[in-house]
Structure 1
């Protein structure tokens, strides 16, 4: 557009110089001014029309990009010039290639997920046999240690199974009214061997508190929080578990341990994938996955996870359950 203006101005100047210097062209100053005004007016009108025509495609394209529409290919503007047609064809080709690669990646991930789920189910069979052997030989003191180690393996495999199911959580989600204490008690029962090994006592508020949530996925979150509390609690320590309802009606589950706590500079990153922090490195027991997975599931099912901790004074983790699960409302 600027080049057109420069070209027109140069042409106009040369035309005026030619008219002014050529004695054969008798033209008054007023006539020359009139000619200049006429040419400039015509050029401005042409410029405005051309600007509108040439920018209409770009404006529509920018509008589509700001809309973040998943079906933007269907909304591509009609081409005005040949370059617009080329642009449309290029964008469509790139999008199709991207969709193809994405489809291949999803297929590969699905195969890997299916393989992982099948592997976990296969491994669970010998683990079940091991558990039956442990239960049948509890009179031997060494069985307590064996059971604690069995539990660690069981938890790792079970977590792997949940990880493989997370991408399809939306299809495996059922809301139901349940008692929060029962959810916690079920997980504590499974973790009892670990607590006995470390001589950890549980101080739990046994009052009933009805909530609406998905029991299976909520138990998964609770399991991650409890395993962290047990892992970092000192031998002979106590884990405090309490439930209450906020003024707004939200049910809250709080788990407090007497572990080493979390430094203030690590708190904002505790839910990051792979982050272990100073405490995890000190105990050489952290994978950086437990809290990350708990947070990912919590966000999907509408639970708010919060952590309050002071280094050297334990950790306080809270699960706040929604009154109406927004995820389920969206899915409907």
Structure 2
């Protein structure tokens, strides 16, 4: 800063020194007494010091303004990049979302055009999928906009699980998928709405890949861990590290036309927001198990 300031006042300093040297030269050439020169020198130095003090304040203000402007420009650049990234993510998601929505809508139209036994239940299944995709889209937008208000309260595990089992009961029956769950009275500290969305996506995922098989939901009271296990087709070792990545559906997803790779991405985002650690283990051909670690109740 010192060097920059000297450059800032360098011109004035040079002119002042030159003028003083001219005065000195004049006094020397004409053999004038040096006492007046010393008075002029003292006055000049005093005035110049006051001027330098003023210029120093001005210099600091200009530096502060420049740094402030640079910071603003940097922030604007970051905001612009975030907006572009946000736009790309939203466009990419909703292209996938529209494709997903077409499947149950088209299936519903075909079912309604036929007069087959059990048609009503099958149409209800498609409506549930449409509802799930719609809720997923709303949750995705809230998470992207950082408007996901989360309120941590004591919530019964059973109050999270029972409504979801009831909601997907038609799929369990029609797909011959057996659900194993015993009522859990324990209470955990969480946001009921967002935890429900997270659990629903894991359960919905299990329903896709464990058709005609079994799903277990149980709670470890000692470690506060909720587990959702199935004996479906499982996940390959190559896909396992990437299943929470946005848009990644893996080999199983390519086999299932309804897989978008968004559900588990949102699960991971919600678990991060809630500080609920989520872990998954799986063996291809044997099934998968998702574990959600809830915080300690601390006396609740």
Q: Give the TM-score normalised by the residue count of structure 2.
A: 0.63
State whether residues 187 and 297 of structure 2, in contact with CA within 8 Å, keep that contact through their aligned partners in structure 1: no
Higher mean Cα deviation, 266-275 or 218-227? 266-275
Aligned to 1:10: none
Structure 2 counterpart of 1:94: 70
SS of 2:168's partner is: helix
Q: Are 1:255 and 2:228 matched, yes or no? A: yes
Give the root-mean-square deviation of aligned CA atoms.
3.7
Pairwise CA distance, 1:84: 10
- Is 1:243 matched with 2:216? no
Could you tell me which of 216, 219, 224 is aligned with 2:196?
219
Cα distance in 2, alignment partners of residues 323 and 239 from structure 1: 26
What is the alpha-carbon distance in structure 2 between the residues aligned to residue 84 and residue 200 of structure 1?
73
Match of 2:268 among 295, 308, 313: 295
Partner SS state of residue 275, structure 2? coil
3-state SS, counterpart of residue 293 of structure 1: helix
Q: Pick which of 286-295 and 203-212 moved more.
A: 203-212
Q: Which digits, 9 at most, give the CA deviation of each residue in 1:269-297, with x for residues without a partner?
A: 11111111122123333211111100111
Aligned in 2, Cα 1:319/1:257: closer, same or farther, shift over 3 Å?
same
Question: How far off is 1:224 after superposition?
Answer: 0.7
- Deviation at residue 207 of structure 1 after TM alignment: 2.9
Q: Provide the rounded CA distance (Å) in 2 between the counterparts of 1:171 and 1:141.
A: 39
* Aligned-partner Cα distance in 2 for 1:90–1:202: 65
1:175-194 pair list within 5 angstroms: 175-194=152-171
When residues 107 and 262 of structure 1 are mapped into structure 2, their CA distance, relative to the original with a 3 A threshold, is closer
8 Å contact 2:233–2:284 — kept in the other structure?
yes
CA contact (8 A) 2:234 2:285 kept: yes
The residue that corresponds to 1:269 in the other structure is 242
Q: How many Å apart are 1:302 and its aligned residue?
A: 1.3
- CA shift in 2, pair 1:86/1:263, >3 Å: farther
SS of the residue aligned with 1:262? Answer: coil
* Shift in CA distance, 85/100, structure 1 to aligned 2, threshold 3 Å: same
**Cα distance, 1:300 vs structure 2:** 0.7
Gaps (5+ residues) in structure 1?
A: 1-79, 114-138, 326-332
Instruction: Give the Cα separation in 2 of the matches to 1:161 and 1:170.
Output: 11
- After superposition, residues 1-332 of structure 1 pair within 5 angstroms as 91-101=67-77, 141-167=118-144, 172-234=149-211, 236-246=212-222, 250-323=223-296
Q: C-alpha displacement at 1:92, in angstroms?
A: 3.6
Q: Deviations over 1:148-178 (max 9, x none)?
A: 1111111000111111222466662222212
In structure 2, the residue corresponding to 1:298 is in which secondary structure? helix
Count the aligned residue pairs. 221
- Aligned mates of 2:242, 2:79 — CA distance in 1: 32
1:102 deviates by 5.1
What is the rounded CA distance, in whole Å, between the counterparts of 1:289 and 1:88 in structure 2?
45
TM-score under structure 1 normalisation?
0.58
Higher relative contact order (CA 8 A, sep 6+): 2
Tell me how far apart the structure 2 counterparts of residues 267 and 86 of structure 1 sit (CA, whole Å).
55
Query: CA–CA distance in 2 between the matches of 1:171 and 1:298?
Result: 12
Instruction: Tell me: CA distance 1:169–1:176, structure 2 relative to 1, closer, same or farther (3 Å).
Output: farther
